[in-house]
Amino acid sequence: MLQTGTELFEQMEFKENPLYEQIIQDILEKKYSIVDGFFDSAEVDILRAHLLEKYEEDNFKKAAIGNKTSEVIARSIRGDFILWINEADAGTAEKIYFNKINSLVDYLNRTCFMGILTKEFHYAVYPEGTFYKRHLDTFQNDGRRKLSMVCYLNNEDWKPENGGELSIYTNEGAREEEIKIYPFPGRVVIFESQELEHEVKPVKVPRLSITGWLKTR
């Protein structure tokens, strides 16, 4: 049976989502968005347990910064250990993660025509004393990275004195501003990969997260 445009539109069952709308508005205005409680504490607990299990099994690798960079130089730039997550064989914990991310991605594609076709995510552990110097996420010439997303999996009692804040540098006209963001559990930070330089300050206590990128093409 033929359908009118209105009927088709109704069939798509588009519901405005206030949280996603806030994220979009933030990104349009400031190029970043901070969402507390994107994951609730039960979800964070499951994801953290899974991360620690993999970490204890020794599955993580020292993060690299490019192919031909020496280990010593790399360590002076970033000290985290990472494990890439393959969505195709996501376990229970990771399915929770991807369900939420995919829902956001669908929304962005429907409302902003962002054309996000691929994503990549890794777990990250910053052991005591490590950091990630100021950088842009497109440093490896990956122009397809549109939005960076970091989700923190630290314990409930994470304190600002633990260090490890994410500093995002914004430019209002010529004046640079440093936005300090503490890695509280369940918090998600989303920012424009090609626009905002940022760094992870040295940590005093191991710092746990999932970092990823939403990509075009």
Ligand X SMILES: O=C(O)CCC(=O)C(=O)O
Residues that bind Fe ion (CB under 5 A): 137
Tokens linked to 70: 């020496």
DSSP H or E run through 74: helix 71-77
- Using DSSP's 3-state secondary structure scheme, residue 199 falls into strand
Binding residues among 57-96 for ligand X as defined by CB under 6 A? none
Rounded distance between C-alpha atoms, residue 185 and residue 106, angstroms = 24
Nearer to ligand X, 46 or 203 (CB): 203
Nearer to ligand X, 27 or 150 (CB): 150
| Burial class, 153, CB count within 10 angstroms (exposed 0-12 / middle 13-18 / buried 19+) | buried
Nearer to ligand X, 23 or 107 (CB): 23
Phi, psi dihedrals of residue 66, rounded to the nearest 5°:
155, 170
Residue nearest to ligand X (CB): 166
Binding residues among 116-145 for ligand X as defined by CB under 6 A? 124, 132, 137
Nearer to Fe ion, 137 or 165 (CB): 137
Taking the complex as a whole, the smallest distance from the CB of residue 2 to ligand X amounts, in Å, to: 50
Nearer to Fe ion, 24 or 147 (CB): 147
Report how far apart, in Å, the C-alpha atoms of 217 and of each of 104, 115, 138, 187, 214 are: 18, 7, 15, 28, 10
Single-letter residue type at 88: A
Binding residues among 174-203 for ligand X as defined by CB under 6 A? 198, 200
The DSSP bridge pattern shows strands 145-152 and 188-192 to be antiparallel
Q: Quick check: 107 binds ligand X (CB under 6 A)?
A: no
Q: Quick check: 211 binds ligand X (CB under 6 A)?
A: yes
Q: What letter would DSSP give residue 64? A: P
| Residue 211's binding partner out of ligand X, Fe ion, none, with CB under 5 to 8 Å set by partner kind | ligand X
Question: CA 95, 198, 22 angle in degrees (round to 5)?
Answer: 55
Q: Quick check: 51 binds ligand X (CB under 6 A)?
A: no
| Residue 43's binding partner out of Fe ion, ligand X, none, with CB under 5 to 8 Å set by partner kind | none
Which residues of the shown chain bind ligand X in the complex (CB under 6 A)? 124, 132, 137, 150, 166, 198, 200, 209, 211
